Amino acid sequence: MKLKNGTGSITLNNVYYSPNAACALLSAETLQLGGVPAIVTSTCPPVVFVTPVNHVSESKHVDPVNPQITVMNSILKESDALMWHRRLRHTSLKRIIKMCSSGELPGLPSKLTNKDFICKDCLVSKSKRQRGSRLSDKGELQLMDIIVLDLLGPFVEGFLGVQYVVVFRDLATTYSEGFLLKSKKDVCLTLKRYIEQMERLTRKKLKIFRTDGGGEFTSKAFLDWMKDKGITHQHLIPYEPEHNGASERLHWTVGEMARTALVASGLPVKFWGFAYLWVYFTHNLLINTLTGDKTPLELMFNKKPIYKRLHSFGEVSFVHKPNLYRKGKTDARTW
């Protein structure tokens, strides 16, 4: 580091750099050991240079309460890139170099030094997550090879106190089902019932069950149940949504459709759960880029979907009222 005044400068070695320091602190003893003639006195100021002041800058007091504290101000080079990086609100080095090279901005140096600096303040304040890669499943998947579970919520409390949606998605067929839950504690029980039901309907055993590593799936009872069933439990890396890209895209699409259906129906927000279930139901009746010309329902159960009884969400329907509930011949025959 160089200390300057009007007549010259002195170079100091073994200097400790502190980015938050407002000035430089010098040790008179170290200066004397380095060959700089300095006298330390008990008077004010305590540091006196006995040679012409062409080695260091002028000393000054910074503590009016204790006049014994005396420091020597240091001067950074006007071409220091880190200094201009801080002065120009921590902007990029590329932009600073462009401004300096233009030669049209007075006060900026034509060339910069120390351009290989590392700004720790920027590293702390501007840190960004690196985008991960999608998790690829080797080989051609068959139905019930991998089922992915995701828990959405909490939402506004709906009918019967539900606040969550748990979603199961078969990766091979994209067949998906959602269930409404009051609490996260109900996830494991719902999962067990769903897996047992799907194994009966498809006559296939589930091989891999994939989650985001939530605490709901770490209990000993649940892990023992998975082990007895011969199911491998895979955990996704936290904060890496790309590893679960297909499900993340499904959630975004379903959320958009459910919100649109709820708005179009004019129903209160408490019906959000039924809107989600309706969207998951219709998802299995639609072809997509992963299923080709077949629907998820067809790939999962080998049966064609029936669209004749399909209704839009919130559509007004009339249910026949049996004679037992009609008061007379003039009473309405529907509810």
Query: Confidence band (pLDDT; 50, 70, 90) for 136?
Result: low
**Among 3.30.70.20, 3.30.420.10, 3.10.20.740, 3.40.50.1860, what is the CATH number of 146-301?**
3.30.420.10
pLDDT mean over 100-129: 85
Residue 163 has pLDDT above 70, yes or no: yes
pLDDT of residue 70: 44
Residue 48 has pLDDT above 70, yes or no: no
Cβ partners under 8 Å of residue 37, min gap 6: 49, 50, 51
pLDDT of residue 170: 96
Q: Where are the alpha helices (DSSP H) in 7-117?
A: 28-33, 81-87, 93-102
Q: Are 223 and 192 in contact (CB under 8 A)?
A: no
pLDDT of residue 271: 96
Share of the chain above pLDDT 70, in %: 73
Cβ partners under 8 Å of residue 181, min gap 6: 153, 162, 163, 164, 165, 166, 187, 190
pTM of the full structure: 0.61
pLDDT of residue 33: 62
pLDDT of residue 36: 61
Residue extent(s) of CATH 3.30.420.10 domains in the chain: 146-301
pLDDT of residue 139: 58
Q: Most distant CA pair in the chain: distance in Å?
A: 122
Question: Which tens digit of pLDDT belongs to each residue from 199-227?
Answer: 999 999 999 998 876 677 888 888 899 99
Question: Which tens digit of pLDDT belongs to each residue from 243-254?
Answer: 555 667 788 889
Strand-strand pairing, 232-235 and 208-211 = parallel
Q: Could you give the angle at which helices 245-265 and 272-283 cross, rounded to 10 degrees?
A: 120
CA–CA separation, 1 vs 162, rounded Å? 66
Residue 51 has pLDDT above 50, yes or no: no
CA–CA separation, 194 vs 177, rounded Å? 9
For 241-275, b/e burial (b = at least 16 CB within 10 A) is bebbeebeebbeebeebbeebbeebeeeeebbbbb
Query: Confidence band (pLDDT; 50, 70, 90) for 238?
Result: low
Respond yes or no on whether the N-terminal peptide bond of residue 67 is cis (omega within 30° of 0). Answer: no
Number of residues in the chain: 335
Residue 189 has pLDDT above 90, yes or no: yes
Question: What order of strands is seen across the sheet that includes strand 208-211?
Answer: 176-181, 164-170, 146-152, 208-211, 232-235
Please report, as a single letter, which amino acid is at residue 266: G
Sign of CA dihedral 267, 270, 276, 278: negative
